[in-house]
């Protein structure tokens, strides 16, 4: 039996309709931005394999970090025990975020980083004997697929089977110049109830909603309102973290700091599953020196896996290197040029960019949404041209690893332009 047949026989893939005869592309190896199929075809990974890869595939320094760590310590229980990779990584994450007094709580992925943030926020009020249960999020939000992270996400077809089981969350429209006053009034009305524990948001860019972007000044004002009302701000930087928006973290574009920060995806440079929730000391103090029953009783078997932490620390070092920062600036510049080049084309409904993210909303007879039916044509067209793009409906976006060269990125743009100029 071929690998494709075995894949069909034995595997259920994520976000994939179970249509009989569906064939996965089997990848045999990868290097830099290139994925190689078992037939020897080369495909540019222009979306960093679901936004996780920062420095390219099979990176020498990351391979070395992983191998060396595997020879020392592959894993150890993280309650009562600790290890150097987790300790050094936590120190570096806090320092680079600019959270000088705080703590890092490790978990496994983006959804669990969000679950941990929500639970810590809620329990911090419980521990003060002043329970608050209300959460506020943005319409269109995506924070993951576990129940808590689904609950703070937009109510849509993805979570429709579970609507009745999701806890109640108040949703605000994403702010823009035209609706900002109304969004502030809606926020104020929720805060007036005095039961808002936290406001959770994807800072500056809503990823899964179609790379929807909004202004730092708007977010900053909303965060200030929440703080004034005694609520907490949870920045879900699972996608925006590690340079995607041009700064190391999107939160650094606001003057107000969040109380909790969720990290994953780029955290390990795309090598290992790892989640981290950064917690300000002002929140942590509600768990410190408290009675046993006020402990945060949460953990995962692979919390702070040493292999993942070691590779994450090396990935962060690489990210901070001047050459990587120069690549981020160059990609940002190329994005801006391409935006100018295509914005007047007939098929372009809207085009936007922030840092290394570029999104092009295509004009067709349907509304912009993940369910816009052009998605499948786009995906197949790009794949046939040797470029992995996974459009969110009619929104084509690029989010490449930072090692992509000028020519490789230009090649991606040429393929996109060829499609929209047809
Ligand atoms: C902003 C955001 N939060 C959370 C998640 C969930 O992360 P994971 O898929 O690792 O559970 C995602 C995934 O796309 C995301 O974009």
pLDDT digits (tens, 9 = 90+) for 192-231: 999 999 999 999 999 999 999 999 999 999 999 999 999 9
**CB of 152 shorter than 6 A to ligand 1:** no
Ligand 1 centre and the CA of 273: distance in Å? 12
CA–CA gap between residue 153 and residue 139 (Å, rounded) = 8
Average pLDDT over residues 397-411: 98
Residue 174's alpha-carbon distances to 187, 218, 258, in angstroms, are 12, 9, 18
Nearest Cα to Cα of residue 63 among 32, 28, 19, 27: 32
Residues 25 and 101 in one domain: no
Per-residue pLDDT of 144-203, as tens digits, reads 999 999 999 999 999 999 999 999 999 999 999 999 999 999 999 999 999 999 999 999
Q: What is the total count of domains within the chain?
A: 2
Residue 21 is predicted with a pLDDT of: 87
Residues 304 and 370 in one domain: no
Residues 18 and 121 in one domain: no
Residues of the domain holding 102: 62-319
CATH number (domain holding residue 44): 3.90.1150.10
Nearest Cα residue to atom 2 of ligand 1 = 143
pLDDT of 288 > 90? The answer is yes
Residues 309 and 242 in one domain: yes
Nearest Cα residue to atom 3 of ligand 1 = 143
Domain end (from 294, 319, 344)? 319
Nearest Cα residue to atom 8 of ligand 1 = 110
**CB of 109 shorter than 6 A to ligand 1:** yes
pLDDT of 330 > 90? The answer is yes
DSSP 123-140: HHHHHTT----EEEEETT
Residues 152 and 204 in one domain: yes
**CB of 142 shorter than 6 A to ligand 1:** yes
Instruction: Give the mutation target among 106, 111, 174 for probing the ligand 1 site: most ligand atoms within 8 A of CB.
Output: 111
CA–CA gap between residue 131 and residue 322 (Å, rounded) = 46
Contacts of 352 (CB under 8 A, 6+ apart): 211, 213, 339, 358, 359
Average pLDDT over residues 18-29: 94
Residue 363 is predicted with a pLDDT of: 95
Per-residue pLDDT of 296-311, as tens digits, reads 999 999 999 999 999 9
Average pLDDT along the chain = 97
Domain end (from 271, 304, 319)? 319
Residues 175 and 274 in one domain: yes
Residues 104 and 220 in one domain: yes
Average pLDDT over residues 124-142: 98
Residues 263 and 331 in one domain: no
Average pLDDT over residues 379-404: 98
Beta bridge partner(s), residue 37:
27
Beta bridge partner(s), residue 201:
235
CATH number (domain holding residue 274): 3.40.640.10
Residues 395 and 335 in one domain: yes
CA–CA gap between residue 391 and residue 381 (Å, rounded) = 11
Residues 219 and 337 in one domain: no
Per-residue pLDDT of 270-283, as tens digits, reads 999 999 999 999 99
Residues 232 and 111 in one domain: yes
Residues 201 and 342 in one domain: no
CA–CA gap between residue 345 and residue 97 (Å, rounded) = 39
Nearest Cα to Cα of residue 141 among 216, 214, 53, 220: 214
What the block records as the tokens of 353 is 């960019």
pLDDT of 56 > 90? The answer is yes
Domain end (from 319, 343, 363)? 319
The proportion of the chain whose per-residue pLDDT surpasses 70, expressed as a percent, equals: 100
pLDDT of 100 > 90? The answer is no
Nearest Cα residue to atom 13 of ligand 1 = 144
pLDDT of 250 > 90? The answer is yes
């Amino acid at each position: 039996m071929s690998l494709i047949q075995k894949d069909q026989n034995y595997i259920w893939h994520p976000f994939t309709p179970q249509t009989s005869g569906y064939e996965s592309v089997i990848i045999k190896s990868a290097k830099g931005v290139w994925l190689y199929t078992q037939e020897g075809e080369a495909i540019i990974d222009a979306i960093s394999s679901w936004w996780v890869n920062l420095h390219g595939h099979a990176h020498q320094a990351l391979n070395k970090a992983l191998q060396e760590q595997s020879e020392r310590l592959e894993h150890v229980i993280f309650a009562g025990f600790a290890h150097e990779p987790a300790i050094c990584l936590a120190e570096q994450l806090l320092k680079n975020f600019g959270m000088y007094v705080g703590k890092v709580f490790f978990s496994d992925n983006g959804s669990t980083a969000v679950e941990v943030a929500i639970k810590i926020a809620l329990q911090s009020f419980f521990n003060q004997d002043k329970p608050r249960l209300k959460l506020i999020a943005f319409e269109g939000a995506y924070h993951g697929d576990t129940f808590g992270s689904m609950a703070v996400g937009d109510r849509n077809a993805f979570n429709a089977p579970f609507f009745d089981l999701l806890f109640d969350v108040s949703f605000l429209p994403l702010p823009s110049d035209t609706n900002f006053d109304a969004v502030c009034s809606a926020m104020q009305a929720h805060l007036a109830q005095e039961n808002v524990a936290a406001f959770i948001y994807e800072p500056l860019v809503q990823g899964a909603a179609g790379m929807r972007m909004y202004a730092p000044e708007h977010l900053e004002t909303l965060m200030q309102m929440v703080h004034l009302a005694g609520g907490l701000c949870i920045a879900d930087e699972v996608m925006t973290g590690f340079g995607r928006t041009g700064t190391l973290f999107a939160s650094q574009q606001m003057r107000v700091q969040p109380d909790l920060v969720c990290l994953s995806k780029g955290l390990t440079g795309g090598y290992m599953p790892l989640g981290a929730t950064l917690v300000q000391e002002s929140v942590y103090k509600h768990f410190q020196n408290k009675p046993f029953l006020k402990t945060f009783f949460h953990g995962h078997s692979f919390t702070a896996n040493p292999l993942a932490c070691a590779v994450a620390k090396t990935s962060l070092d690489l990210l901070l290197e001047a050459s990587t920062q120069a690549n981020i600036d160059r990609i940002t510049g190329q994005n801006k040029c391409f935006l100018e080049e295509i914005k007047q084309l007939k098929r372009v409904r809207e085009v936007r960019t922030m840092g290394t993210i570029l999104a092009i909303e295509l004009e067709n007879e349907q509304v912009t949404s993940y369910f816009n039916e052009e998605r499948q044509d786009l995906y197949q067209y790009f794949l046939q041209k040797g470029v992995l793009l996974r459009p969110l409906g009619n929104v084509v976006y690029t989010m490449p690893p930072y090692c992509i060269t000028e020519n490789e990125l230009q090649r991606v743009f040429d393929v996109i332009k060829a499609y929209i100029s047809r």
